[in-house]
Amino acid sequence: MTPPSKELADVSASERRDFLRGLSAFALGCGLAAPSRAIGEGKPSRTAIATALHRAAHQLLDRPVVFDDPYALRIVGAERVRRLALNLERYQAPRARAMRAFLVTRARYAEDQLARVYQHGTRQYIILGAGLDTFAYRNPYGSALRVFEVDHPSAQAWKRARLREQGIDLPRSLTLVPVDFEKHALAARLRQAGFRHTAPCFVSWLGVTMYLTRDAVMQTLRFVARSCVRGSEIVFDFSLPDDALAETERVSRAQRAARVAELGEPWISHFDPAALAGELKALGFSEAEHFGANEANQRYFSNRADHLRWRGSARIMTARV
């Protein structure tokens, strides 16, 4: 997950924490007993904006693009595009390039996995914590694939306002599922939105696990394993534990983690891929497939003149029910 910069402080740290904690209610099907707080007075999280800006920078700086997103520049709003254009050099720093490579790989990989399951008959896609994701507005499958964007009501309102400004209509294949986890049960909200629990689904859950406790992460995954029908899948990202990293990477991550913690968004959970795969199977998943930097660089970044590559402690997992 991108460490949010202070200039993108659209949501207070405590509001962001409350929302991330609320995402774990996906596993429980009920609200959390936590203090009631809105998220950001109608604006998305800093992390969502920072991630969108990296995707936008990718469209401007990198050739060929790994993740082609024609809406990336439009979704963040004109003022942020202006600031991005004035500060592109910051996105060319080695650390920013590596982070951007991971973020666009994460998005590309999730959509590649979606394409695979679509060919096998899956027709429902849940984007959990959708943020400024743009898939629904460039959905290549049209009305054949139902897309459910799950996010906080105020974050969705901000996004809808940006879409209106850009003249981007909400496609009929998209259903916005506003969920305040302190008030709403996700399972019930999905049913109300037309989600079919008897049919397989694909779930993307990106940029969240590192901010949650291990128990909250496993509860969410347990919900998918036990509540979604056979053939359903989830793709999520996670970070490696310190003992799996080289010394230079441990130092680098500690520096990034300290900056994030100062903003009130500490990285809490880390997972060993092999152990995590075993835990997923114990939860009821039939398969778990780990995807890391080596695989990504071979698949998406080979023979590039600009030498863009994914480096770092993040990894991606696909789990199949």
Hey, is 203 helix, strand or coil?
strand
Report how far apart, in Å, the C-alpha atoms of 129 and of each of 20, 70, 98, 279 are: 9, 21, 23, 23
In CATH terms, 6-320 corresponds, of 3.40.50.300, 3.40.605.10, 3.40.50.970, 3.40.50.150, to: 3.40.50.150
Q: What is the pLDDT of residue 263?
A: 65
pLDDT (0 to 100) of residue 2: 40
Asked if the bond preceding 64 is cis, omega within 30° of 0, the reply is: yes
Rounded-to-integer distance, Cα 283 and Cα 85, Å = 46
* 247 CB burial (10 A radius; 0-12, 13-18, 19+): exposed
* Amino acid 12: pLDDT: 38
| 285 close to 192: Cβ distance less than 8 angstroms | no
- Taking residue 137's Cβ as centre, other Cβ atoms within 10 Å add up to 19
154-177 pLDDT per residue, tens: 889 999 999 999 999 999 999 999
The total of other beta-carbon atoms located within 10 Å of residue 182's CB is 18
pTM of the model: 0.85
Q: What is the DSSP track for 113-137?
A: HHHHHHHTT--EEEEET-TT--GGG
**Picking from 23-27, 306-310, 317-321, which range would have the lowest pLDDT averaged per residue?**
23-27
42: number of Cβ within 10 Å: 16
The DSSP call for residue 306 is T
According to DSSP, residue 193 is labeled T
pLDDT band at 260 (very low <50, low <70, confident <90, very high): low
Give yes or no for a contact between 291 and 48, defined as CB atoms under 8 angstroms apart.
no
Distance CA(152)–CA(167), nearest Å, equals: 22
Instruction: Specify the residue for token string 């779930």.
Output: 203
């400024």: which residue's tokens? 132
pLDDT in tens, 77-101: 888 889 999 999 999 999 999 999 9
Q: If you average pLDDT over residues 266-293, what whole number do you get?
A: 95
